[in-house]
Amino acid sequence: MAESHGEISGHDCRRPAPVQTFNHRSSKWVRLNVGGTYFLTTRQTLCRDPKSFLFRLCQSEPDLDSDKDESGAYLIDRDPMYFGPVLNYLRHGKLVLNKNLTEEGALEEAEFYNITSLIKLIKEKISEKEAKTTHSPVKHVYRVLQCQEEELTQMVSTMSDGWKFEQLVSIGSSYNYGNEDQAEFLCVVSKELHNQSYSSNSQPSEKAKILQERGSRI
C-alpha cells in the first residue's frame, strides 16, 4: 500500500489522510516514507529476508539509525517508483516492473536493500536478455549496382564499410562506344546488420532476390 503527499492509495484521494503515529515496535504495521511517498506494510513482509536492510529496520533494537518524519514513518532516501516493485516482491515473490522501469534500476534498489534472492533473480533476467541479444540471427541488407564491364574491377576493389560482393548478373545488353562493345552487368552486394541496427528498410528487395535467382542459373 502506497501513498503520495500524505494520501494513502486505495482510499479517497480527495480527503487528506490524518497524521498518525505508529508504534513500530509493537504494531504489526510499518509505515515508510520513501522519497516522499508513503508505504504501509506489515513487519512480516519486511522481514522476509533476514539479511536485508528492511529486516534490520523492523527489529526491536535495530542496529542501524534511521530518521522518522512527524508521523513516525521511517525516512528512506530512495526512488519510490522502484520501491513499489521491491515491496511487492517481498509480498508475493514475483518481480513485476512497469514499462518505464528497467531491470538495471531495480537491481540498484535490490542491492541497496540487500535482498539477496531478488538480486539473484534480477541478474538472471539481465543475463537472459543479454543472451537473446547476443545470439540473435544476423540480418543482411542487399544492394544492386549497375555497371559496365570496364567498371567492374574498380567497383569491387573499392567496396568498404562491411559491404561484400555476392553475385554478378549479366543483363544481356551492351552499349557501343566507338568500335568497342561494352557489356553491362548488375552487381549484387550485401552487408551484415546486427539486431540493434536492423530495421524493416534493411530487408532484401524483391528485385535483389530475383537477380540472385537469375545469377544462380547463369
Single out the residue of 3, 84, 1, 85 nearest to residue 36, CA to CA.
Answer: 3
Domain residue spans in the chain? 29-133, 139-215
Single out the residue of 80, 115, 118, 87 nearest to residue 101, CA to CA.
Answer: 80
pLDDT-derived band at 55 (thresholds 50, 70, 90) equals: very high
More confident residue, 202 or 91: 91
pLDDT tens track for 15-52: 444 444 445 455 789 999 999 999 999 999 999 999 99
CA angle 143, 146, 147 (to 5 degrees): 130
Q: How far is CA 6 from the centre of its chain?
A: 33
Which residues, other chains included, contact 35 with Cβ-Cβ below 8 Å and sequence gap of 6+? 76, 77, 78, 79, 80, 83
> Which single residue is written with the C-alpha cell 519486511?
46
pLDDT tens track for 67-99: 889 998 999 999 999 999 999 999 999 999 999
Q: Supply the pLDDT for residue 15.
A: 44
> Which single residue is written with the C-alpha cell 560482393?
165
Residue 21 contacts residue 74 (beta carbons within 8 Å): no
The strand ranges marked E within the chain are 2-4, 7-8, 29-34, 37-42, 74-76, 139-148, 164-177, 180-193
Query: Per-residue pLDDT for 7 more than 50?
Result: no
* Mean of pLDDT values over 61-69: 71
Angle between helices 116-134 and 80-92 (to 10 degrees): 110
Dist CA 95 CA 88 (whole Å):
7
φ, ψ of residue 53 in degrees (nearest 5): -60, -40
Q: Supply the pLDDT for residue 118.
A: 96
Query: Per-residue pLDDT for 191 more than 50?
Result: yes
What nine digits make up the cell of 101?
A: 522501469
Which residues face 148 on adjacent strands?
A: 184
More confident residue, 134 or 192: 192
Q: Supply the pLDDT for residue 62.
A: 57
Give 29-133's CATH code, choosing from 1.20.120.790, 3.30.360.10, 3.30.710.10, 3.40.50.300.
Answer: 3.30.710.10
Domains 29-133 and 139-215 share a fold: no
95: left (phi over 0), alpha (psi -120 to 50) or beta: beta
For the domain made up of 139-215, the CATH class stated in words is alpha beta
φ, ψ of residue 136 in degrees (nearest 5): -70, 145
